[in-house]
Structure 1
Amino acid sequence: MSRIPALIVAGLALSVLAVPAAQAEPRAAGSITFRHSLQPIDGFGFSQAFQRADRIRGLSQGNQREVLDLLLNRRTGAGLSILRLGIGSSADNVYDHMRSIQPVDPGGPTAPPKYVWDGDDGGQVWLAKQAKAYGVTRFYADAWSAPGYMKDNGDDANGGTLCGLQGTNCASGDWRQAYADYLVQYARFYAKEGVAITDLGFTNEPDLTTSYASMRFTPAQAAEFTKVFGPRVRRSGMPIKVACCDAAGWSQQIEYTTAIEADPVARAEVATHTGHPYRNPVTGPLPTSKRTWMSEWSPNGTTWNEAWDDNSGYDGFAVAQNIHDTLTAGQANGYVFWFGASLGATRGLIQLGDGTDSYRISKRLWALASYSRFIRPDAVRVQARSGDAALKVSAYRNVDGSRVVTILNTAATTVSTDFTLDVPGRPAAYVTDTTRSVSATDTVRVRGRTLSAHLAPRSLTTVVLR
């Protein structure tokens, strides 16, 4: 099969009587308090860095539009609202590299810069414009590394540290200011293309050394650089928020956040603390009152997987659990998946044909869409309590007045449950499981202030109240 149908269009959700509780597990009461505000939600997103954006653009016009709809369309797709862009550091433009806007040393850190801009950026400019047309306004640009000539190892890959930071001794001099200017210039280039970068980061996984673009910062060095970077961003006149530090593990990000929070000057410069749960999972919030994002994750695995629930750890159900835990235990304000679409054994949301005009969809997409399509930017998470330990429940209040309840049934049996609502409403419900993908369901009803739901085994149900 060259590709599967692109759009799984849910019909109008209906609200009818739930299947009688006698056919399911006993009811357990919970409650949703929409007036009890918790953290605001900035949005849900994805990335197409490392030239993955160009792979979408290379599809036929019809398939290209279908893939974009799957990722960005609010009615038929995931309606993602954050695009994470990769700031390049490589001197070449081969696949899986990101080309630098200054690939050649201009002659030292104080020499006039020699920026080059191709107006394309590995397809990311095209994708950003497409996303903007779908209504996306949040663009997070993040650097994996500085160009090699700015680092103490002379290479944009294999770790190394930015020259000028404490602990470095580079013959070429102090590149901190030049690197800050380099990042600001990247945002200026996008502004000229009609895309406003809203969030800007200077490091990705600074706790790891990898064979691809990477650069090390200790927590102290990250705090040090924010005090150089932040003022340069402010002087640019662009309304950009500084983000840090995209550590590879949530526990490691706690160390970076702690270091920044301990320095009053650094703390004032960072608007958003960003971390990844690769090395260890999200088990609690980052230690800051600032915004926090889970800014990159896809599950580990070795093959392409389209399953909803096969116990592989990289199926759709695993993604749904990760989203729930990040928003509830982690109290994160943003959730940014890694690749939206990539090749081969990707754990992305969509698999693109390698050399063919085709694509396939993973249930991971529909797990994310069950949250992102309905919980919109500037929503607020509210208090939700389940009376059944098998149910992972969270709830949200959107700025348009709609209210959302997500219920992940981790049990292998059907569960019927009730929730007391402080604000009632007319429900529309959607379910995702082995056979359905954000499909309208008639198994949820509201009578007075009681929401009753009949939940399929190992399923994710999203309820929208109006």
Structure 2
Amino acid sequence: MKFLLYTRLPLVAAGLALLPSTAFRPASIQATEAVSVWLTTGDQTKLLAQQPDISFAASSASASTTITLDDHTTYQTIDGFGAAMTGSAAYMLNQKMSASQRDALLSDLFTSSGIRLSFVRHSIGASDFSAYGDYTYDDVAEGQTDTGLSKFGLGNDLTDVVPMLKAALGKNNTLKVLGTPWSAPAWMKEAKSDGTHSVRGGGYLNTAYYQAYANYFVQYVRAYAAQGVPIYAMTLQNEPGNSAAYMSMRMDPGNEAAFLKNNIGPAFASASPAITTKLVVYDHNWDDKTPTINNYVESVLSDAAAASYAAGSAWHGYSDPSGIANMTTVHNAYPSKDIWFTEITGSVGSSFAGDLKWHMSNIIIGNTRNWAKSALEWNLALDQNSGPTNGGTNNCRGVVTINNSTGAVTRNVEYYALGHASKFVDPGAVRIASNSVAGGIEDVAFKNPDGSRVLIALNNSSASNTFQVSWNGQSFTYTLPAGAVATYKWNTSDVPLGRVFEISAKSNGKALEITGASSSNNALLRQATWGSAIQQKWHMVDAGNGYVRIVNQNSNKSLEIVGAGTTNGNQVEQYDWQSIANQYWLVQQQSDGTYRILNKNSGKALDTPSASEGANLQQWDWTGADNQRWWLSDQGAARTGSALATSSAALADTRLRVYPVPVAQELAFDYVTDTAETLQVQLLDALGRSALAAPAVAVQAGTTSVHLGAAGVAPGAYVLRVITRTGTLTQRVLVTQ
């Protein structure tokens, strides 16, 4: 087939290959989605910097490297990305910054105006990074015990850690908090060789106090909840194979399994009300195959009674990155158990470029490609001297550095590495399939709960690399400098074209319809009991860039917000298609199978205010409630004529004239424009599938004749779609052979 264009006065002709497309996207529209791009380079000339948008187009021949995304192959659900609110980090935020400095930094760290961290870890008691020395929540003098936990209290946590966690939650109220103990209270541990007890230097939990320790954690979860900080999950012991000189405790696999199944698991389950905080095992390095660690995770989870209380395992990154694959090994053996990555630190003195590649390759991409639901850095903040410390190493680097004299903030490489994920990948996103090339373009892809897609790509090579991204029969090409990382994000509607739907509210089951079966402009949208009436039937028409217009089968008019309003409570009406933002909708499938329907102009969701028969629909801020979730029930194929073409006020006006009628071997149309522009041309069948797809067509001011060879197109009714700089033109086409 050939694609030819002619410009009259003067006449210009060019022959270009026409690309036939047989791909059918039953889950989403075929459109030129705009893709936002954010870039960080190793030379720091670009630091999470937004680049000009790019667009998908019909796929062409593959580049030397092609990343192919597959929405239909999914992996783990993402909890989030973040770092640890250690005692040191909380101290720096709370004690070494002014109120305005602190508020600005917390906004940058935890809101969408910055990198929007969604997951934090904190130590249950002190750790090796604490401003107030060693402490637990039940410390007594040497030789004393407190099995009844009468002296339990959060102590020093109330000075900085709790206030800063609450402040972070104030910025992001969906923030997940994970707790981890470095040591049990000294009196609960086995005595050292000199008969004394210490929270330092490892040592084991005394079996006589297993139940007291379980009760200690019950108290901890309740105490934090009382402070307004819910604990999403907790690990049983930080680095259980590490007998460090700072606060630490050994807990071998057999100890952990016993404590889990006999003590803490039953204690959480029997609490009133029951404690739902997830219990997570291990919390140590990727390489769990050493003699010291001894296949730790598998050993614990192979105990069925212990495993019944375990939500999964947590992992650190202080070992050969080849051990990342051990997380997949554990997942394959225990697929019902989740995996979290919970700690890695940056180091002072290393290079930004080298660390960017290492953290992106291993912490962000490597971990999530191996089933991790989270990726957490260690200290959220430290001072310029890597402190304050409590026995920890003196070369650790925080996600940010806060000057302990001025409060000035330096954003470190970990900030940008986290930001490339946390700013774009929402909690609840699922990882979707994508191919990755180690040492070349390494990548990971996600589908957010709102239906948007995210691709994170790292050029982990020493040379610039041009690659193609292929998704749902479309592609774009991008060039990444050596060592650079980019995040790509695009929105798209998740509904098929060419089908008729009943749209009904999850909250009450009532169907959308146009009031009074009206065919007039400004008739309001309301809800009513489904009766299979034509005014209750709808189809979606591609409006470009991932959006659709929602068209009523009876009137052939499009839904819009009354008066192009942008406030909560504005009602919804039908109107002739005008190709304005008020008539564009994003229809995105949610995890429960329903859809949310967002107006492009206002960003608000279609919402039913009540269960009443005849209640008018409105728009409202998205809350995720059932009155904003919609079932789409397929009622069959849409009408191919007036349903897919535009109305009398349509864009298929004097700018577009199709000939001959009917079409046989060749389809041609004249396009009239007053300025140079680029068109995209497709011929769609009744199901919205592309029968012909032309490359971008550059036209000049005046009249341009475009000719498409149609010899290979099956006879039938089609819609010619021409995407212009101002909107989409459609025209019904009948093909005969």
Distance 1:35 1:370 in 2: 24
Q: In structure 2, the residue corresponding to 1:30 is in which secondary structure?
A: strand
Q: In structure 1, the residue corresponding to 2:145 is in which secondary structure?
A: coil
Determine the structure 2 residue equivalent to 1:266: 306
Distance 2:358 2:218 in 1: 37
2:181 matches 1:156 = no
1:110-151 deviations in Å (ceiling 9; x for gaps): 445321344843511112111212223311111010011111
Q: 2:53 aligns with which of 5, 11, 14?
A: 14
Distance 1:123 1:338 in 2: 17
Structure 2 CA distance for partners of 1:362 and 1:283, relative to 1, 3 Å: same
Q: Tell me whether 351-360 or 287-296 shows the greater mean CA deviation.
A: 351-360
Distance 2:244 2:279 in 1: 24
Structure 2 CA distance for partners of 1:366 and 1:147, relative to 1, 3 Å: same
2:382 matches 1:342 = yes
Distance 2:179 2:436 in 1: 38
- Name the % identity: 25
Distance 1:245 1:74 in 2: 32
2:86–2:380 contact (8 Å) kept in structure 1:
no
Mapping of 1:79-90 within 5 angstroms? 79-88=116-125
Distance 2:373 2:313 in 1: 10
Letter in 1 for 2:135: R
1:367-397 deviations in Å (ceiling 9; x for gaps): 1110111111111111102579610021100
Structure showing greater radius of gyration is 2
Greater share of residues in helix: 1
Root mean square deviation of aligned Cα: 2.7
Determine the structure 1 residue equivalent to 2:597: none
Determine the structure 2 residue equivalent to 1:354: 404
1:273-324 deviations in Å (ceiling 9; x for gaps): 111121333431251321101111124x343x5x531x4xxx2222111221
Determine the structure 1 residue equivalent to 2:248: 214
Letter in 2 for 1:266: A
Distance 1:388 1:220 in 2: 37
Higher RCO by CA contacts (8 Å cutoff, separation 6 or greater): 1
Q: In structure 1, the residue corresponding to 2:83 is in which secondary structure?
A: strand
Letter in 1 for 2:341: M
Determine the structure 2 residue equivalent to 1:38: 75
2:126–2:135 contact (8 Å) kept in structure 1:
yes
Structure 2 CA distance for partners of 1:254 and 1:243, relative to 1, 3 Å: farther
2:81–2:375 contact (8 Å) kept in structure 1:
yes
Determine the structure 1 residue equivalent to 2:319: 279
Mapping of 1:320-331 within 5 angstroms? 320-322=360-362, 323-328=364-369, 330-331=370-371
TM superposition shift of 1:254: 7.5
Q: In structure 2, the residue corresponding to 1:246 is in which secondary structure?
A: strand
TM superposition shift of 1:177: 0.6
1:297–1:336 contact (8 Å) kept in structure 2:
yes
Structure 2 CA distance for partners of 1:94 and 1:257, relative to 1, 3 Å: closer
Letter in 2 for 1:260: V
Letter in 1 for 2:396: T
Q: Tell me whether 198-207 or 236-245 shows the greater mean CA deviation.
A: 236-245
TM-score between both structures, scaled by the size of structure 1? 0.81
Q: In structure 2, the residue corresponding to 1:215 is in which secondary structure?
A: coil
Determine the structure 2 residue equivalent to 1:441: none
1:323-367 deviations in Å (ceiling 9; x for gaps): 211111x22111111111112243221111134322211122111
Q: 2:168 aligns with which of 116, 131, 145?
A: 131
TM superposition shift of 1:70: 3.1
Determine the structure 2 residue equivalent to 1:199: 233
Determine the structure 1 residue equivalent to 2:270: 235
Q: 2:487 aligns with which of 459, 462, 466?
A: 462
Determine the structure 1 residue equivalent to 2:433: 383
**Which sections of structure 2, spanning at least 5 residues, go unmatched?**
1-46, 58-62, 386-394, 492-737
TM superposition shift of 1:256: 2.1
Determine the structure 1 residue equivalent to 2:91: 54
2:466 matches 1:416 = yes
Q: In structure 2, the residue corresponding to 1:269 is in which secondary structure?
A: coil
TM-score between both structures, scaled by the size of structure 2? 0.52
Q: In structure 1, the residue corresponding to 2:72 is in which secondary structure?
A: strand
Letter in 1 for 2:447: R
1:410–1:459 contact (8 Å) kept in structure 2:
yes
Q: How many residues align?
A: 409
TM superposition shift of 1:36: 1.2
